[in-house]
Amino acid sequence: MLKSKKRQIDPEEKMARVLQVARELFVAKGYHNVTIPAIVKASGVSTGAIYSYFTNKESLARRIHEDTMHDFQSMLQERFDEVSSIRDKLEAFATLCFDITESDPVMMEYLLYMKHSEFMSDTVPICFSEPFKMVRQVIADGIESGVIRQQDVFVAAISYTGVIIRAIELKLMCVLSADLHELSADLQQNAWAAIRNA
């Protein structure tokens, strides 16, 4: 009689599951309110397996942060590479943010709301992260070329991204029920009108 073999889960699949579940829990409950046993229960991955990947909850949180920021930056760079004008690049940023909000709202909530300094004292706020530096550089290039009116780069970045981010926040809070893509043209037009050189 053959013994039935236990299904072996690929170690990478296990780690991906832990990272996904932990990010969801951190967003839903806050970093300090999530324990390793809670991650074990929600992920179905054993405590031993989790500790074979991460030394503690902080190292797990750091990995989630690094992966999330890397993914966002890579997606943004890919979109920037497909367009050339200042306006098209800013629209690519807005569209990416809307795409993430609609397809992976947990990722967007993580980007906007996680207080990373609670568990990583050496991390920068989201507005100083590489993806937002990329957006500010596009705006600086726009100011230099005269497409965007002369103003402080940070003020221009706030004026443009503020329209986009506020719409995302309202969507995440269920105030906006429409798909953001349906509102995208008007939102992007309003964001661009706030900074363009008349």
71 and 31 share a domain?
no
Task: Please list, in sequence order, all residues whose beta carbon lies within 8 angstroms of the beta carbon of residue 109, skipping any fewer than 6 positions away.
Answer: 27, 172
pTM, entire model:
0.87
| Residue 40 placed within a domain | yes
pLDDT confidence band for 150 (50 / 70 / 90)? very high
> In whole angstroms, what is the distance from residue 53 CA to residue 60 CA?
8
**Residue range(s) defining the domain that contains residue 96:** 65-193
- For 155-183, write each residue's pLDDT tens digit: 999 999 999 999 999 999 999 999 999 99
115 and 42 share a domain?
no
User: Across all residues in the chain, what is the average pLDDT?
Assistant: 90
94 and 184 share a domain?
yes
Is 122's pLDDT higher than 80?
Answer: no
